[in-house]
């Protein structure tokens, strides 16, 4: 069976070439061909010797997932259904804004965590995505968007398409439940020979798998978005069931460790924890559910809860889906909630809902896959 080299980061590729009797610098060359040039044919990788090209052709491949559909919303949001095998597909979403373009990447086929308000969680779970399937979403989207960008430049169209400036691991699945593959895919996104994103421009969203948050801090401290959604354990146990395993107190302690140490290791920072920079690394996500978690009292409890953690808060108007059982809070209620947090000194934003017409708004991603869980029990995939 041919080895898909898109699954390998630079360290893996160096080992791969050493095993072939080649020098480690071949890894850099190959990464540039695969990710910068989007070249899949070894015979067109012109700085590799012909012998090496032939060897690679005989034992390897550069295989990316393919899109089986593309939907474009009136606001420019694009949703691709990406086929990852004969029975499963996942969703990848591009959200263009005035000064940036954000790609929302999936980490699993479905999700086993069953958050009460989440469309993906309702669909069940099939499997973890491979490194190639995760980074392949970026590979595919950047190839399409770069060619559209060039086209719009050359044809002098007014509608200049944004390139991908930010990546959020907020698509289908819990990224930290697919730890190894997600971290390796992020390492490739950070690699200057591949995509060269800075750590701040990649955000991993988690429902709060505490041991993996600590591990991420050591392995790859990118920005972290924590799906909090409730200010106390009683409510969070219902909305985000993983809370029963990792309650709010342990989650807050992990977030504090993360914010402080991620900012200290920031390339631009000298020494010592810098609270203003630490804030850049943790965002608490809070979906606004009418009559469930949006009262004035809950806003005050939330403000007190977060007081020790340098952070921002992002309020997300709930995006309804069929049989969800929830309604979104009114705009007045959301603004009141925001104002209470702001009055306590928090940076608090209300997320603009994008791509609702094509079911690509937050919590609406569903893909198309064979559920293996039957949703019988809470089942966190092995890390």
For ligand SF4, the binding residues (CB under 6 A) are 111, 113-115, 118, 120-121, 173-174, 207, 227
Q: How far apart are CA 383 and CA 380, in angstroms?
A: 8
Question: What is the side-by-side order of every strand in the sheet holding 282-288?
Answer: 66-72, 78-83, 89-96, 101-104, 166-169, 202-206, 223-227, 282-288, 312-317, 347-350
Least separation in angstroms between CB 318 and ligand SF4: 12
Give dist(CA 361, CA 162) in Å, integer. 19
Any catalytic annotation for residue 91?
Answer: yes
Residues sharing a CB contact under 8 Å with residue 242, sequence separation 6 or more, in sequence order = 113, 174, 207, 208, 209, 378, 380
Reply yes or no on whether 104 is catalytic: no
DSSP H stretches of helix in the chain: 10-19, 25-31, 50-59, 119-122, 131-154, 179-190, 210-219, 233-239, 248-264, 275-278, 296-305, 331-343
Between 118 and 358, CB nearer to ligand SF4: 118
Q: How near is the Cβ of 82 to ligand SF4 at its closest, in Å?
A: 16
Round to whole Å and give the CA distance between 73 and 357.
6
Catalytic position from the list 255, 311, 348, 362: 362
> Which of the residues 83, 91, 174, 285 is marked catalytic?
91
| Nearest residue relative to ligand SF4 (C-beta) | 121
| Cα 117–Cα 123–Cα 124 angle in degrees, nearest 5 | 105
Q: Which is nearer to ligand SF4, 227 or 360 (CB)?
A: 227
CA separation, residue 360 to residues 73, 119, 127, 132, 199 (Å): 9, 11, 21, 23, 25
Q: Given the complex with ligand SF4, which of 112 and 311 has the nearer CB atom?
A: 112
- Tell me the closest approach of the beta carbon of residue 162 to ligand SF4, in angstroms: 25
Tell me how far, at minimum, the Cβ of 57 lies from ligand SF4, in Å. 39
Instruction: Give least dist CB 374 to ligand SF4, A.
Output: 15
Residues classed as catalytic: 91, 362
């Amino acid at each position: 069976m041919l080895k898909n080299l898109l699954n390998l980061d630079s360290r893996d590729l160096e080992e791969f070439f050493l095993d072939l009797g080649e020098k480690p610098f071949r890894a850099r060359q190959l990464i540039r061909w695969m990710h910068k040039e989007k070249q899949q044919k070894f015979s067109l990788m012109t700085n590799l010797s012909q012998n090496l090209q032939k060897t690679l052709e005989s034992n390897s491949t550069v295989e990316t997932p393919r899109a089986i559909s593309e939907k474009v919303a009136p606001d420019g949001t694009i949703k691709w259904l990406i086929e990852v095998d004969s029975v499963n597909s996942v969703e990848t979403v591009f959200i263009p804004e005035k000064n940036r373009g954000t790609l929302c990447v999936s980490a699993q086929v479905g999700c086993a965590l069953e958050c009460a308000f989440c469309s993906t969680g309702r669909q069940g779970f099939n499997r973890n995505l491979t490194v190639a399937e995760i980074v392949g979403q970026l590979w595919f989207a950047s190839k399409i968007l770069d060619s559209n960008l060039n086209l719009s430049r050359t044809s002098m169209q007014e509608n200049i398409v944004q390139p991908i400036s930010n990546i959020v691991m907020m698509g289908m699945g819990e990224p930290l439940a697919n730890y190894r593959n997600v971290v390796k895919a992020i390492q490739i996104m950070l690699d200057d020979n591949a995509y060269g994103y800075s750590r701040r421009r990649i955000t991993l969203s988690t429902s709060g798998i505490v041991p993996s948050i600590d591990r991420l801090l050591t392995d790859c401290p990118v920005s972290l978005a924590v799906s909090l959604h409730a200010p106390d354990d009683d409510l969070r146990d219902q909305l985000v069931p993983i809370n029963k395993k990792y309650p709010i107190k342990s989650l807050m302690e992990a977030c504090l460790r993360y914010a402080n140490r991620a900012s200290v290791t920031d390339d631009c920072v000298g020494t010592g924890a810098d609270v203003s920079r630490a804030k850049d690394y943790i965002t608490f996500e809070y979906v606004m559910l009418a009559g469930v978690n949006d009262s004035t009292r809950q806003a005050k409890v939330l403000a007190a809860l977060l007081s020790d953690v340098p952070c921002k808060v992002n309020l997300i108007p709930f995006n309804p889906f069929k049989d969800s059982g929830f309604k979104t809070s009114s705009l007045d209620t959301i603004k009141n909630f925001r104002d209470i947090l702001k009055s306590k000194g928090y940076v608090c934003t209300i997320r603009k809902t994008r791509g609702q017409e094509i079911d690509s708004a937050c919590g609406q991603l569903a893909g198309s896959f064979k559920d293996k869980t039957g949703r019988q029990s809470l089942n966190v995939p092995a890390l």
